[in-house]
Amino acid sequence: VCAQQELLPCQSLPKNLIFQLLGLSIATLSTVTHYGLHFTLISNISLESNSYRVIHHAAFYFGICLSMTLILAALLSSAATVQESQCFTAMGFFCFALAFCGLIPAACWRYTHSTEVEDSMMDVYDLVYEEVRRNASSFRRHELTAIHEAFLCCGKHSPFGDTANVEGKTCPSGQVRDAGQDCLRVIQDFLKKHMDFVSTLLGIAIGFTV
């Protein structure tokens, strides 16, 4: 009897609430990724030939659809439990199956294309930096300054060795550049932390969905 009483709280855990929280977490992460300063800045600067803008928009819409599917599955499961409806139960399982079919490809894409987003973001920075270095375009200089202010970095290591003039005009006043850290490394580290968080959330969602 005591063992059954100890198991009762575990058996009465609000699993549907967990799925709602997961759905809200994925929606929040998708919104931050789409409207966050760092990501929107790179997206607005990137050229149409760069793949980042496509990835940026696709990740947002996919995340929102996935979060809505998880929340809908949780709501249908709750309704099926309360009303003991086989129809709601079937619809709930169908939504969980859709969510699972979306989570698995997302996790696979995360590991098989782990460097694609990183490379596309650094390509944008390289493009803007080199254009400023060559002709000191005021428009590109403004974009480069915005990147430096957003990522709190300053310039990059260049084989041409003539970067001091570019950094002096585009780095925030009073910011001292660390010789061991350039903007490419800062962007890489920033994106790695963000993608690690995405991987963790996807793993948790897959585990609970199963």
Is it the case that residue 210 has pLDDT exceeding 90? no
More confident residue, 84 or 173: 84
Q: Does residue 120 fall inside a structural domain?
A: yes
Average the pLDDT over 132-152 and give the result.
84
Mean pLDDT of the chain: 82
Work out how many domains the chain is built from and give that number.
1
Q: Does residue 44 fall inside a structural domain?
A: yes
User: pLDDT tier at 174 (50, 70, 90 boundaries)?
Assistant: low
Residue 28 has a pLDDT of 94
Q: Which domain holds residue 175?
A: 13-157+166-209
User: What angle is formed at CA 58 by the lines to CA 57 and CA 63, rounded to 5 degrees?
Assistant: 105
Rounded Cα gap, residues 59 and 34, in angstroms:
8
**Cα pseudo-dihedral 39, 194, 103, 79, rounded to 10:** -90
Handedness of CA 71, 73, 74, 80 (dihedral sign): positive
Q: Does residue 141 fall inside a structural domain?
A: yes
Task: Pull the structure tokens for residue 150.
Answer: 């957003």
Residue 1 has a pLDDT of 39
- 21-30, 61-70, 76-85, 97-106: which has the minimum mean pLDDT? 76-85
Q: Does residue 4 fall inside a structural domain?
A: no
Q: Does residue 1 fall inside a structural domain?
A: no
Is it the case that residue 29 has pLDDT exceeding 90? yes
Is it the case that residue 139 has pLDDT exceeding 50? yes
Max CA-CA distance within the chain? Answer: 81
Helices (H), the chain: 2-11, 15-35, 37-45, 52-83, 86-112, 116-135, 138-151, 164-170, 183-209
Average the pLDDT over 163-172 and give the result.
68
Is it the case that residue 4 has pLDDT exceeding 70? no
Is it the case that residue 13 has pLDDT exceeding 50? no
Q: Does residue 2 fall inside a structural domain?
A: no
Average the pLDDT over 11-26 and give the result.
77
Rounded Cα gap, residues 122 and 203, in angstroms:
27
Residue 85 has a pLDDT of 80
Residue 11 has a pLDDT of 42
Residue 137 has a pLDDT of 64
Average the pLDDT over 71-78 and give the result.
89
